[in-house]
């Protein structure tokens, strides 16, 4: 061994033990196992001997997994003997019921193991081997002699010492050796020089050395890894042990470490040769450098192929502790100066400067304070005024977007009942009858027999038409709702005199008699400033189409004053107007594999006007016609087969695009059919395909139909890499965490995030690590309260009004989570109060769009008496600002995710923008597992935000499918996975927990420790543990140490896995004896494999658990794109359109200086909104829409009211209650036959 550059000292100053856990230590007395028994059981997880043969070391007895199993072959009632049974029989019995992991302890820990020779004290072995070493190099030239003395170490095992937090004596990988993680390990093995060999045992060491750093041409680390023991480093000895062949039980630890050691050498060499290396260098530049240096070496290509990585950022982040230790030992002055460490070192993150935390309470605007101050968390709010200069920009922006332009403190609007004359409220019918004309608003007596009429308040209607019917005068009307009649319910609403147009009509046979009218009222339509209105006014429409589950607020338009009852169009004509020849659609078809209908892509070829049917071209799924191809489920193959369908089988449009290379497939086409996006692989260049009419099949032949007519080409779907029709929105993420919400919305194609706010440094640095150009995003590492307070003061270091066009918010859920033990504690109420901060951000920044995510339990009653509904109050606050407001209940599994996660999303959009379409399910519910759920009930008693049970193109994604390519890591003790660096458990469970996990049967699926106990399958410590747990964990339904159902769904991923919990303990792998890994949690949450998480494994899991499901985020991003970009058939076909968005930059000149202050001096909000700008309260018939937004396109919104009359039997009603839309479809199909 020559004097090459090497790393020796372990001097990391800031680090923590990410694997340490505080679990009760297990102390049991069990019979010792013989050597043959332990060996035949593949060296069990835990040693059975109470005292090792190692001098001076004591070990407590623990129970092995196999000895804890009773009747492990599930066939015999006899107990497994421990001494008098032949090893061969033990092997068969052990493997019949459970797969055993590799040993977790060295062989020396097992009673009866025979050492290769009598163990020798290390000091004596050194003396003898030093003599042999001197003899070996006695005749070697002086310049060829090694710089230090070294002995070869073979058949070695490396393990922890006695003080290792419930992990005493366990085998351990060398990459965890560090002063602050684990400062000292022990080894057993054979030291040798030539033929002189001595076996040593329990030798402590603290130093690991790797030679060859800085020598790029040196790549063979087989002889360059050395360790130094305490004795070997004493005085002037400088004796090293060169690592050779590991013991059999240690191979699974040492082989991946060798790969990591070589990567570390390349990592150090790269840092030595380059300046200002950042994490992004390892996205591609590092691999280019490696190939330039070593691509001709076979050993390099073999080494690279083992992990199969091209992006090494995740590997760097997961092993930053070891990498930094090695850099410190080589040249800390140079290597630790790179900006990389500030990006990935979890103990000294510095890429984003931390902001001071100055605000003790939740900072809100005056408007948000007015809306939320009376709630149970009102004492946590701090009202702040906006500076005069900034306020002017806020008001200007609200005027341009047709929002409520200002806030007047202590504004008292008139209650609707106070606007009625006492006489009209008292009389039963008008005398004489009112003179009512079309366009009038009148109030009528309530129907006291209904829920709506319970309080006796008058009802309001808009008169569409007055017509004579015999001797009666009838009124065709649209109903107007008070705020309390909407989803706002009992929430505080600042405008008591506001009414909402609805799509609920009484016309035709349901028309009202004129005698029902009590009083005619004056109403102001489309007011600019609600605060200036003294009488009734209407500016929004509350959609109440139950079949479409809308129950939302949209801007009022001129065509909303006439109901759509007479606009019914035959379904064939509706299809012709909605679809074009060449469009691709989803067709409802029977699936024999699934035993029910599913949606299948097809191309529209012809509209058969004679038969009133649609001719379609079949698009086959490649995974079904070529099962061996392992093709994605949404890859299609062109087919010449034509067939026709009735129009009611055409469900909706889908998007199909051609890609010439699988590597060119981009989001959303690479997400397994999410959002109804499919692709067809094609060898020809895409330009040739798009310009070819008709489209050839895969063989290049032109395709004809039965009439020898050429088939039309496919109207291809949106390509994300094309220039968008409009400029993208500028986004801000608050409570953004690791950034999955923001990245998912970005992938939808309508927004780029320029600002991110969060105070969790590991999460925000993870957000930054996944941005290709981090300099394009401004990060605020601090409280959202400090950020907003600075913005309200006009601080130019944070975003101001006009710089943000979309806000995404994943506000803290602990305040509303059912897992919260005390929802009225100060901490919980502070968390809950953050929803007021979210509304304050919207009030201040005035974005075009706003998207909020939170747990569904937020829609439940809160406060001391459970009567305060935070969800309704958010809706009321946003509607009061003038936004169109929608809400969605979104189940992650319905969009291709594999976890059981449901969340509520509130979406607000400025008037004039199309509201978002309802998110459509691409994946079905798990079989026989559908459970109805809703966000709440409207005032008519019908649920809104309901979970739909509709047909979908794909079956749900199971955990087993989502993780099928992840390698088997057995008991996860190695904690080092090369191909997937985050495929490691967040907590390295102690021996007692590992034993309990190992004895949980893998069949039937979903078994837990308590279920195994109740079936009589346990004995020993696991059985005794079940006898000692509390009531919840002892229930038959307990999830304590329970396995995930591989064919169902992952449980909701949370921030910390607790395997021993009786309610949330279902986090064991379905086959392997361990808890779920960070990588499996990432897969469940929809993280992409290349995305980076910064922090220890515990911190990474916390980031994942707090994230918004990525696939749900992408689904919302696609819906946002449809709204903002105004996607239509022409755009989908590839035609460009001009960007009709006006410049929204409301910022004043940055250099206006003193002149700006003079302009703003004496500014008064009420003077700015003078009477000349306020509409007069005129006749209710004068409903001309005024004050159009100058910077957004006015698009008509189809609010067609779907009236369906079905005479259902009692059995059919029960069927509809159970299966919802599926049942309705079956009933309609049956009656159509």
Q: What is the pLDDT of residues 20-62, one digit of tens each?
A: 323 333 333 333 333 343 333 333 334 443 333 333 333 333 3
Q: If we measure between CA atoms, which residue out of 173, 183, 158, 227 comes closest to residue 7?
A: 227
Q: If we measure between CA atoms, which residue out of 745, 722, 790, 527 comes closest to residue 1137?
A: 722
| Domain 581-690 and domain 959-1107 have a common topology | no
Domain 581-690 grouped into CATH 2.60.120.40: no
3-state secondary structure of 861: strand
Structure tokens at 627: 């099962």
Q: Indicate the angle between helix axes 1221-1232 and 1210-1219, nearest 10 degrees.
A: 140
Residue whose pair of structure tokens reads 């002995």 in the numeric block: 151
Find the distance separating the first CA and the last CA of the chain, reported in whole Å: 87
Q: What is the pLDDT of residue 30?
A: 32
pLDDT digits (tens, 9 = 90+) for 213-239: 888 877 777 778 999 999 998 877 889
Tell me the whole-structure pTM to 2 decimals.
0.84
Please name the residues in contact with 851: beta carbons below 8 A apart, sequence gap of 6 or more: 745, 806, 807, 808, 809, 905, 906, 907, 908, 1116, 1120
CATH ID of 416-555, from 2.60.40.350, 1.10.760.10, 3.10.180.10, 2.30.30.490? 2.30.30.490
Q: What is the pLDDT of residue 367?
A: 97
Kindly list the catalytic residues. 813
pLDDT band at 66 (very low <50, low <70, confident <90, very high): very low
Residue 952 predicted with pLDDT over 70: yes
Measure CA 323 to chain center: 30
φ, ψ for residue 702, nearest 5 deg? -70, 145
Q: Give the span between the Cα atoms of 1057 and 91, in whole angstroms.
A: 33
CATH ID of 959-1107, from 3.40.1160.10, 3.90.120.10, 3.30.460.80, 2.30.30.60? 3.90.120.10
Q: For 1050, which DSSP code?
A: B
Q: What angle do CA 485, 489, 495 make, to 5 degrees?
A: 80
pLDDT band at 929 (very low <50, low <70, confident <90, very high): confident
DSSP 276-304: S--GGGGGTHHHHHHHHHHTT-HHHHHHH
Q: Give the span between the Cα atoms of 881 and 883, in whole angstroms.
A: 6
pLDDT band at 1230 (very low <50, low <70, confident <90, very high): low
- Mean pLDDT, the chain, integer: 83
Residue 19 predicted with pLDDT over 60: no
Q: Give the span between the Cα atoms of 852 and 839, in whole angstroms.
A: 10
What beta strand segments (E) does 707-827 contain? 729-734, 751-758, 778-781, 806-809
- What number of other Cβ atoms are within 10 A of residue 76's Cβ? 12
Q: If we measure between CA atoms, which residue out of 1099, 1097, 1068, 1100 comes closest to residue 1087?
A: 1100
Q: How much is the average pLDDT of 947-956? A: 94
φ, ψ for residue 904, nearest 5 deg? -100, 140
Which bin fits 298, alpha (ψ -120 to 50), beta or left (φ > 0)? alpha
Q: If we measure between CA atoms, which residue out of 116, 120, 181 comes closest to residue 320?
A: 181
Tell me the C-alpha to C-alpha distance, in Å, between residue 34 and each of 6, 71, 79, 557. Answer: 43, 20, 17, 85
Q: If we measure between CA atoms, which residue out of 1044, 890, 1085, 1048 comes closest to residue 955?
A: 1048
φ, ψ for residue 77, nearest 5 deg? -85, -10
φ, ψ for residue 886, nearest 5 deg? -130, 160
Helix (H) or strand (E) holding 204: strand 196-211
Q: If we measure between CA atoms, which residue out of 196, 222, 169, 206 comes closest to residue 49?
A: 169
Q: How much is the average pLDDT of 128-154? A: 87
Please name the residues in contact with 773: beta carbons below 8 A apart, sequence gap of 6 or more: none
Q: Where are the domains of the chain?
A: 6-14+117-344, 416-555, 581-690, 959-1107
Q: For 722, which DSSP code?
A: S
Lowest-pLDDT range, 81-85, 789-793, 1007-1011? 81-85
């Amino acid at each position: 061994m020559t004097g090459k550059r090497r790393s020796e000292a372990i001097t990391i100053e800031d680090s923590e033990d990410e694997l340490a856990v505080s679990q009760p230590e297990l102390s049991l007395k069990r019979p010792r196992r013989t050597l043959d028994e332990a060996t035949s059981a593949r060296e069990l997880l835990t040693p059975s001997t109470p005292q090792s043969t190692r001098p001076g070391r004591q070990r407590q007895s623990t129970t092995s997994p196999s000895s804890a199993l009773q009747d492990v072959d599930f066939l015999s009632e006899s107990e497994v003997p421990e001494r008098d049974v032949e090893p061969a029989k033990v092997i068969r019995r052990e493997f019949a019921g459970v797969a055993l992991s590799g040993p977790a302890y060295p062989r020396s820990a097992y009673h009866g193991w025979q050492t290769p020779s009598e163990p020798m004290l290390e000091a004596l072995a050194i003396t003898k081997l030093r003599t042999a070493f001197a003899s070996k190099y006695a005749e070697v030239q002086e310049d060829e002699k090694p710089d230090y003395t070294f002995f070869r170490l073979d058949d070695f095992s490396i393990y922890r010492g006695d003080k290792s937090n419930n992990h005493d004596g366990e085998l351990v990988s060398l990459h965890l050796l560090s002063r602050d993680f684990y400062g000292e390990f022990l080894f057993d093995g054979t030291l040798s020089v030539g033929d002189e060999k001595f076996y040593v045992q329990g030798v402590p060491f603290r130093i690991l050395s790797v030679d060859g750093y800085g020598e790029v041409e040196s790549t063979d680390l087989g002889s360059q890894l050395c360790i130094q023991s305490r004795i070997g480093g004493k005085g002037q000895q400088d004796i090293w042990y060169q690592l050779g062949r590991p013991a059999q039980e240690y191979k699974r630890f040492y082989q991946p470490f060798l790969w990591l050691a070589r990567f570390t050498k390349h990592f150090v060499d790269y840092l030595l040769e380059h300046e200002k290396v950042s994490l992004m260098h390892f996205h591609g530049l590092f691999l280019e450098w490696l190939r330039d240096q070593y691509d001709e070496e076979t050993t390099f290509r073999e080494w690279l192929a083992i992990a199969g990585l091209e992006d090494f950022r995740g590997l760097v982040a997961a092993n930053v502790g070891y990498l930094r230790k090695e850099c410190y030992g080589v040249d800390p002055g140079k290597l630790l100066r790179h900006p990389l460490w500030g990006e990935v070192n979890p103990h000294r993150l510095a890429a984003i400067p931390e902001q001071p935390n100055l605000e003790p309470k939740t900072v809100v605007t005056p408007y948000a304070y007015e809306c939320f101050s009376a709630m149970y968390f009102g004492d946590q709010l701090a009202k702040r005024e906006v500076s005069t200069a900034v306020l002017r920009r806020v008001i200007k922006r609200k005027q341009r977007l047709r929002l409520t332009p200002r806030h007047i403190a202590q504004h008292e609007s008139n209650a609707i009942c106070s606007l009625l004359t006492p006489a009209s409220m008292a009389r039963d019918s008008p005398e004489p009858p009112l003179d009512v004309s079309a366009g009038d608003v009148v109030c009528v007596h309530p129907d006291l027999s209904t829920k709506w009429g319970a309080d006796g308040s008058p009802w309001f209607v808009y008169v569409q038409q007055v017509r004579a019917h015999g001797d009666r005068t009838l009124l065709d009307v649209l109903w107007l709702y008070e705020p309390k009649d909407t989803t706002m319910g009992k929430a505080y609403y600042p405008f008591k005199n506001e009414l909402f147009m609805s799509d609920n009509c009484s016309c035709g046979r349901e028309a009202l008699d004129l005698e029902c009218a009590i009083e005619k009222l004056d109403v102001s339509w489309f007011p600019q400033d609600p605060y200036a209105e003294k009488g009734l006014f209407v500016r929004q429409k509350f959609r109440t189409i139950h079949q479409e589950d809308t129950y939302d607020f949209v801007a009022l338009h001129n065509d909303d004053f006439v109901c759509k009852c007479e606009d019914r169009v035959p379904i064939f004509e509706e299809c012709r107007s909605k679809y074009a020849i060449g469009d691709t659609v989803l067709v409802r078809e029977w699936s024999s594999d699934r035993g029910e209908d599913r949606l299948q892509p097809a191309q529209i070829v012809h509209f058969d006007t004679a038969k009133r049917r649609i001719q379609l071209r079949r698009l086959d799924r490649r995974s079904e016609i070529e099962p061996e191809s392992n093709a994605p489920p949404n890859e299609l193959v062109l087919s010449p087969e034509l067939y026709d369908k009735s129009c009611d089988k055409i469900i909706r449009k889908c998007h199909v695009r051609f890609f010439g290379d699988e590597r060119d497939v981009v989001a959303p086409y690479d997400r397994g059919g999410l959002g109804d996006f499919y692709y067809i692989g094609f060898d020809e260049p895409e330009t040739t395909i798009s310009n070819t009419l008709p489209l050839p099949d895969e063989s290049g032949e032109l395709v004809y139909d039965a009439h020898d007519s050429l088939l039309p080409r496919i109207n291809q779907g949106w390509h994300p890499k094309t220039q968008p029709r409009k400029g993208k929105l500028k986004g801000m993420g608050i409570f953004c965490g690791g950034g999955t919400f923001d990245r998912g919305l970005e992938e939808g194609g309508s927004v780029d995030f320029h600002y991110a706010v969060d105070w969790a440094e590991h999460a925000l640095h993870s957000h930054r690590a996944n941005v290709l150009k981090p300099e394009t995003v401004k990060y605020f590492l601090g409280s959202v309260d400090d950020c907003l307070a600075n913005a309200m003061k006009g601080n130019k270091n944070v975003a101001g009004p006009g710089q943000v066009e979309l806000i995404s918010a994943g506000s803290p859920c602990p305040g509303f989570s059912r897992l919260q033990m005390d929802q009225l504690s100060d901490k919980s109420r502070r968390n809950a109060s953050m929803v007021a901060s979210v509304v304050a951000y919207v009030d201040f920044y005035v974005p075009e769009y706003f998207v909020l995510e939170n747990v569904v339990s937020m829609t439940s009653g809160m406060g001391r008496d459970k009567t305060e509904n935070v969800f309704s109050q958010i809706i009321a606050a946003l509607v009061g600002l003038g936004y169109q407001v929608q809400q969605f209940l979104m189940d992650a599994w319905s969009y291709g995710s594999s976890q059981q996660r449901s969340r509520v999303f509130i979406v607000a959009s400025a008037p004039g923008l199309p509201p978002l379409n309802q998110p459509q399910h691409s994946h079905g519910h798990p079989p026989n597992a559908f459970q109805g759920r809703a966000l709440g009930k409207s005032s008519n008693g019908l649920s809104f935000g309901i979970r739909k049970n509709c047909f979908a193109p794909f079956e749900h994604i199971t955990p087993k499918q989502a993780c099928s390519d992840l390698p088997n890591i057995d008991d996860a003790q190695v904690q080092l996975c090369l191909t997937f660096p985050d495929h490691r458990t967040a907590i390295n469970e102690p021996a007692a927990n590992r034993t309990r996990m190992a004895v949980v049967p893998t069949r039937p699926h979903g078994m837990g420790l308590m279920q195994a106990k109740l079936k009589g399958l346990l004995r020993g410590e696991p059985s005794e543990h079940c006898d000692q747990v509390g009531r919840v964990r002892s229930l038959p339904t307990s999830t304590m140490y329970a396995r995930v159902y591989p064919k169902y769904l992952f449980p909701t991923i949370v921030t910390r896995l607790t395997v021993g919990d009786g309610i949330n303990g279902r986090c064991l792998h379905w086959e392997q004896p361990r808890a779920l890994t960070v990588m499996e949690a990432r897969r469940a949450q929809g993280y992409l494999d290349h995305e980076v998480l910064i922090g220890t494994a515990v911190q990474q899991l916390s980031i994942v658990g707090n994230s918004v499901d990525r696939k749900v985020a992408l689904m919302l991003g696609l819906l946002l794109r449809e709204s903002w970009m105004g996607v239509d058939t022409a755009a989908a076909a590839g035609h460009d359109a001009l960007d009709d968005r006006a410049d929204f930059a409301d910022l004043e000149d940055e250099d206006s200086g003193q002149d700006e202050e003079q302009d703003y001096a004496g500014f008064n909000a009420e003077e700015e909104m003078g009477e000349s700008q306020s509409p007069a309260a005129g006749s209710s018939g004068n409903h001309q829409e005024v004050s159009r937004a100058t910077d957004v396109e006015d698009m008509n919104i189809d609010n067609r009211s779907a009236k369906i009359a079905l005479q259902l039997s009692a059995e059919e009603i029960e069927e509809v209650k159970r299966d919802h839309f599926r049942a309705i479809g079956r009933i309609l199909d049956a009656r159509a036959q």
